[in-house]
């Protein structure tokens, strides 16, 4: 079994540790459950690419997304200005 993500290493080590100290049927069930859960995440990520491409090709959603991005950019600039102002007040 090959796990490609570093985020999955810690739970996998914990599962293998518990499985090593358990009966073979319980150990098999633990590792099978982990493998199925991990593969379902990859399946959902793969299927959602087509859905995401269909959403982003919609002009109305693309226009709204552009406005949302500009709005968040203004919020970030405002937060930066606030921190600069707070630093100025400290001196």
> pLDDT, tens digit, for every residue of 12-58?
888 889 999 888 899 999 999 998 988 887 788 778 877 778 777 88
- Structure tokens given for 3: 């796990």
Which domain range does residue 74 map to? 59-91
Q: Give dist(CA 60, CA 66) in Å, integer.
A: 10
Query: DSSP letter at 8?
Result: G
Domain count within the chain: 2
Same domain, yes or no: 19 and 37:
yes
How many helical (H) and strand (E) elements, i.e. helices and strands, does the chain have? 3, 0
My answer on whether 34 and 78 are in the same domain is: no
Residue 1 and residue 18: Cα distance in Å, rounded? 17
64 plus 38 within the same structural domain: no
Position 5 scores a pLDDT of 66
């Amino acid at each position: 079994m090959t796990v490609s993500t570093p985020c999955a290493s810690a739970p996998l080590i914990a599962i293998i540790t518990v499985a090593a100290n358990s009966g073979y049927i319980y150990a098999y069930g633990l590792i099978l459950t982990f493998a199925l859960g991990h593969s379902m995440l990859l399946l959902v990520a793969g299927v959602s690419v087509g859905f995401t491409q269909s959403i982003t090709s919609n002009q109305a959603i693309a226009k709204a997304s552009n406005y949302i991005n500009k709005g968040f950019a203004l919020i970030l600039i405002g937060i930066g200005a606030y921190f600069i102002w707070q630093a100025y007040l400290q001196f």
